[in-house]
Amino acid sequence: MDVVVVNDGSGDNTQFEAERAGFSTVNHAINRGLGAAIKTGIEYAKEKKADIMVTFDGDGQHDPSDIEKIIWPVFQKKADLVIGSRFKKSKNVPLDRFFLNWFANFITLLLYGVVTTDSQSGLRTFSQKALNVVDFKGERMDFSSEILLEAKRNNLKIAEVPIKAIYTEYSRKKGQKNLNAIPTFSRFLVRLLR
């Protein structure tokens, strides 16, 4: 197993601390956005010929013990892409997040025809097949829905597994900002209409 930290242009000690802990790091010289960072992780996994890849947000909102749950469907060959859904068993989700996510899911359904309970989740598992076929253009938050569209376009099996979401003040501060939804949504529309 290889743990890689994609440092998306952080000027703090992220890279140093990750390496001190013994993990590989891939460092973007400048900040390119969440989608770009995930894609770099995917490229890294492809280079290493990984059988399976898990994306895990660095803001402390995921529980590492959920990884086992979300890789299981891929091991069982029941899915190529597993989304860890924070809302499937929604408890303790702040109301604003609940509505924002509902809106994102609705737009994903409307534009892409994909039903999901958590289109924006950062905890995902990709099978090798998914790694090789999923290609997305979104470089910021808008890539999340695009992954689902790509999966659908390539006839990948998608599964959702309920996961825990840890909403601390830190994770909320580091995660998607509510107001980001507007530019994210507009960029998403422009890409669709272009």
Partner 1 sequence: MFTAIQILLLAFVIFAISRVYLRLKENVISTRVAIFWFLIWIAALVGISLPATTTRIAEFFGVGRGVDIIVYISLALLFYLVFRIYVMIEDLRHQITYIVREIALSNTSKSRKSRKKPKK
11 binds partner 1 (CB under 8 A): yes
> For partner 1, which is the closer residue by CB, 24 or 178?
24
Q: Which of 87, 181, 163 is nearest to 125 (CA)?
A: 163
- Binding-residue pattern over the window 116 to 155 for partner 1, x denoting contact by CB under 8 A: ---------------------x-x----------------
Partners of residue 84 on adjacent β-strands: 161
Q: How many residues form the binding site for partner 1 (CB under 8 A)?
A: 27
Q: Which is nearer to partner 1, 11 or 95 (CB)?
A: 11
Closer residue to partner 1 (CB): 112 or 136: 136
Scan residues 35-54 and list those touching partner 1 (CB under 8 A). Answer: 36, 39-40, 43-44, 47
d(Cα 91, Cα 103) in Å, to the nearest integer? 18
Is residue 13 within the footprint of partner 1 (CB under 8 A)? yes
Interaction site with partner 1 (CB under 8 A):
4, 6, 11-13, 15-16, 19, 24-30, 32-33, 36, 39-40, 43-44, 47, 137, 139, 190, 194
